[in-house]
Amino acid sequence: MKTDILFYRLFQEIPSIFFEIIGNTPDEANNYLFSSVEIKQTSFRIDGLFLPIEITDRPIYFVEVKFQQDDEIYSRLIAEISLYLRQNKPKNDWSAVVLYPNRSVDTGDIKHYCEFFASQRIKRIYLNELGDTATLPVSIATVKLVVEDAEIAIHQAQELIKKTKQETNSKLQQQLLQLIETILVYKFPNMSREEIEAMFSLSELKQTRFYQEAFQEGKEEGERTGKLKAVLPMLTAGLTVEQIAQALELSAEEVSQIVQQQVSNSSSEE
């Protein structure tokens, strides 16, 4: 999973985290809609856009996630924003936030755009400088997990999982568990299902997307197995392949394959 996709998913599902990172209250997210925007008739695409739900004094937030060095990041960002403003003519003012893992990745030249940075219209945030993970709000500490070294990321993930129990908001608790799970899969693509499961208690594991998708797959597989076992009794009862397929919501080809397999098994036994 690419980092920009990871953060797009993060801000889409838990937009309050963005506002916590930039120093606002989490509740500010209730006034915004988040999306990714493609500039018409260009190859430009803005990673993320927080658009105020109503025309107020709240600014539009343009979000750029950059985990690789890019000398032209600021010239392109200003161009994207200018084109967006020209095409959409929003009434609200605007601000931009660029997220970096650390300062070494920030290689863009700002000499033509100093005023934007001096006025804080464009803010740069370095995730590794957000503070001590132990003292951060669990939501921000979870985001910081993305840039932690692999040796300590597992331990910190386990600590964050414990901290989610302190969240009285069950929906946020579930979202944070899913976010931790997503980040673990992103950071450790070779980690097995058993290793991920071992990090969560059963009650916590049941709230993760990983578990829910696996459970659904198992449920669907169980339903499918039951349907396949019903084919031969229905065929013996005199139903046609088409009738069986319709009744079990299977394709006629699937039903025919079951019948052929049974015939082959019977022949080999003889």
List of domains in the chain: 3-207 (no CATH), 212-269 (1.10.10)
Q: What's the confidence (pLDDT) of residue 218? A: 44
Mean pLDDT across 202-217: 50
Please write the tens of the pLDDT for every residue from 72-102.
999 999 999 999 999 999 999 999 999 999 9
Q: What is the C-alpha separation between 247 and 243, in angstroms, rounded?
A: 6
Burial of 109 (0-12, 13-18, 19+ CB in 10 A): exposed
With tokens 């999973």, the residue in question is 1
Residue 46: which of 22, 69, 62, 25 has the closest Cα?
A: 62
Identify the band that residue 108 occupies on the pLDDT scale cut at 50, 70 and 90.
very high
Q: What is the C-alpha separation between 24 and 61, in angstroms, rounded?
A: 13
**What is the pTM for the complete model shown?**
0.70
Render the chain in DSSP notation, one character per residue.
--HHHHHHHHHHH-THHHHHHTTS-GGGGGGEEEEEEEPTTSS-EEEEEEEESSSSSPPEEEEEE--S--TTHHHHHHHHHHHHHHHH--SS-EEEEEEESSGGG-----TT-HHHHHTTSEEEEEGGGS--GGGS-HHHHHHHGGGS-HHHHHHHHHHHHHHGGG-S-HHHHHHHHHHHHHHHHHH-TT--HHHHHHTS-HHHHTTSHHHHHHHHHHHHHHHHHHHHHHHHHHHHTT--HHHHHHHHT--HHHHHHHHHHHHHHHHHH-
**φ/ψ (deg, to 5) at 133:** -55, -35
Q: Are 15 and 32 in contact (CB under 8 A)?
A: yes
Stretch among 3-12, 26-35, 49-58 having the lowest mean pLDDT: 3-12
Q: What is the CA radius of gyration of the chain?
A: 26
Residue 199 has pLDDT above 60, yes or no: yes
Please write the tens of the pLDDT for every residue from 212-253.
554 455 445 555 666 667 777 667 656 678 877 776 777 888
Identify the band that residue 256 occupies on the pLDDT scale cut at 50, 70 and 90.
confident
What percent of the chain has a predicted confidence (pLDDT) above 70?
77
Q: What letters, b where the CB count within 10 A reaches 16 and e where it falls short, cover 149-184?
A: eeeebbebbeebbebbeebeeeebbbbbbbbbbbbb
Residue 41 has pLDDT above 80, yes or no: no
Residue 79: which of 113, 129, 102 has the closest Cα?
A: 113
